[in-house]
A and B are shown apart, each in its own frame.
Chain A
Amino acid sequence: MSDAINVKNISKIYPGFTLKDITFDLPKGYIMGFIGPNGAGKTTTIKLILNMIQRDGGTVEVFGLENIAHDAEIKEQTGVVFDNHYFVDEWTLNDINRVMALFFSNWQSSIYQKKLEQYQLNPVKKVKELSKGMRLKLMLAVAFSHDAKLLILDEPTSGLDPVARDELLDTLAEFIQDGEHSVLFSTHITSDLEKVADYITFINDGRLIYTGIKDEFIDSFRLVKGGKEDLTPDVKAHLIGYREYGSGFEGIMYTEYANYFPNLLSEKSSIDNIIVFTYKGTNGL
Chain B
Amino acid sequence: MKITLSNLSGIPIYEQIKDQIKSQILSGELKEGDKLPSLRELARDLRISVLTTTRVYTELEKEGFITNIQGRGCYVLGEGSELLKEHMLREMERNLSDALKAAKIAGLDISEVHQALDLMNEEKQNE
Contacts and interface: CB of A to CB of B under 8 A. Distances in A.
Interface stretch (A68-76, A119-127, A157-165, A194-202): A194-202
A267 B12 CA distance: 12
B43 interface: yes
A268 B10 contact: yes
Nearest to B39: A179
A173 B44 contact: yes
A177 B50 CA distance: 10
B47 interface: yes
A34 interface: no
Nearest to B10: A268
Interface in B39-67: 40-41, 43-44, 47-52, 55
B51 A173 contact: no
A196 B50 CA distance: 8
Taking chain B's interface residues, is the majority helix, strand, or loop, or is none over half, making it mixed?
helix
B43 A173 contact: yes
Q: How large is the interface on B (under 10, 10 to 19, 20 to 34, 35 or more residues)?
A: 10 to 19
Interface string A209-223: 000011100000000
Nearest to B41: A177
Interface of B: 10, 12, 14, 40-41, 43-44, 47-52, 55
B40 A195 contact: no
A215 B10 CA distance: 14
A22 B44 CA distance: 30
Interface of A: 29-31, 169, 173-174, 176-179, 195-199, 213-215, 267-268
Contacts of B51: 30, 198-199, 213-215
B50 A29 contact: yes
A199 B10 CA distance: 21
Nearest to A200: B49
A31 B52 CA distance: 12
Given A179-B40, A215-B52, 19 more contacts: A29-B50, A30-B50, A30-B51, A31-B49, A173-B44, A177-B41, A195-B47, A195-B48, A195-B49, A196-B47, A196-B49, A197-B49, A198-B49, A198-B51, A199-B51, A214-B49, A215-B14, A215-B49, A215-B55
Q: Which 10 A-B pairs have the closest CB atoms?
A: A173-B44, A198-B49, A198-B51, A195-B47, A177-B40, A195-B48, A198-B50, A213-B51, A196-B47, A214-B49
